[in-house]
Structure 1
Amino acid sequence: MIGSLSCIVIDCPDPRKLAPFYEELLGLARVEDGEDWVTLGDIGQPPRVALQQTANFMRPDWQTSTVPQQMHLDILVENLDVAQSAVLGLGASLLEGSDKPIGYRVYADPAGHPFCLVTREGLS
């Protein structure tokens, strides 16, 4: 092993605006709160998720890759329908064409970053 995951950094136009979405989605607390950088996690316990302000942020286009998604998170859930209701309530959107596969669905966070909700059967 060369190292261990310390932090996932997500570019976005407004870290403070996007932070509540990931706090609720991942059950993380805000451990650093700046205007252009917000860190979520447990103090001293990696991995963390950081949101970084990017002046020229371009919303990813999941279907055409005109603007590539660059990265995405897979979030393991017990029930897709229950989890979908929760993330939609937080401001996520279901991406067109992603509701067909069994075991996972693809969404965009409020800033447009794709992420997947997956169940155990979707991992195989």
Structure 2
Amino acid sequence: MRILRKYVVFDAPDIDAEASFWAAVLVGTVDNVENYDPGTWRDVLVDGEVVVAVQHAPDHRVPVWPPEGDQEQGQQMHYDLSVARDDVGAAVAEVRDLGAKPLRMAPDPDVRHGFHVFADPAGHPFCICWG
């Protein structure tokens, strides 16, 4: 098998808001892909390469976090963004400014290894990790 591209695709009811969020977080750009019906898909490119995409999902249901037992809509996947330990505060401020909602903040941000959990505009969990 020869894989030509690999990336995560987020489902979202508002693909422009979701794609803009991830483009800002990943310091990339949004491409309105012409091969798809208008309003159904966006690619997020970093240095000219697709790193994530967003697919229109009008019936998207926000995942439940933290995942518990057999919840009908528990977390299905999440994205980890690793940053340098001394950049954690700036990363947290940046994703919050872009519209991320905190779900779980590490009780001690000064530990050597840790993570904070956020939800993106469509409710997908992601982590800012360090260490």
Interval of TM-score (by shorter of Structure 1 and Structure 2): 0.7 to 0.9
State how far apart, in whole Å, the 1-side matches of 2:118 and 2:75 are: 12
State how far apart, in whole Å, the 1-side matches of 2:2 and 2:129 are: 28
State how far apart, in whole Å, the 2-side matches of 1:23 and 1:4 are: 21
Q: Residue 106 of structure 2: SS of its match in structure 1?
A: coil
Name the residue aligned to 1:107. 118
Residues 1:54 and 2:57 are matched in the alignment: yes
Q: CA deviation at 1:41?
A: 1.1
State how far apart, in whole Å, the 1-side matches of 2:48 and 2:90 are: 31
Q: CA deviation at 1:64?
A: 4.0
1:23-38 equivalence runs, <5 A: 23-33=23-33, 34-38=38-42
Q: CA deviation at 1:62?
A: 0.9
72 and 5 in structure 1: CA distance in 2 versus 1, 3 angstrom threshold: farther
TM-score by length of 1: 0.81
Q: Residue 95 of structure 1: SS of its match in structure 2?
A: strand
TM-score by length of 2: 0.77
Max radius of gyration: which structure? Answer: 2
Residues 1:16 and 2:9 are matched in the alignment: no
Q: CA deviation at 1:61?
A: 0.8
109 and 83 in structure 1: CA distance in 2 versus 1, 3 angstrom threshold: same
For 1:93, give the aligned amino acid.
Answer: K
Q: CA deviation at 1:42?
A: 4.5
What is the identity percentage for the equivalent residue pairs of Structure 1 and Structure 2? 32
Aligned with residue 94 of structure 1, among 99, 102, 112 = 102
State how far apart, in whole Å, the 1-side matches of 2:103 and 2:47 are: 33
Unpaired runs of 5+ residues, structure 2, are none
Please tell me whether the aligned partners of residues 27 and 46 of structure 2 are also in contact (alpha carbons under 8 angstroms): no
Unpaired runs of 5+ residues, structure 1, are none
For 2:81, give the aligned amino acid.
Answer: I
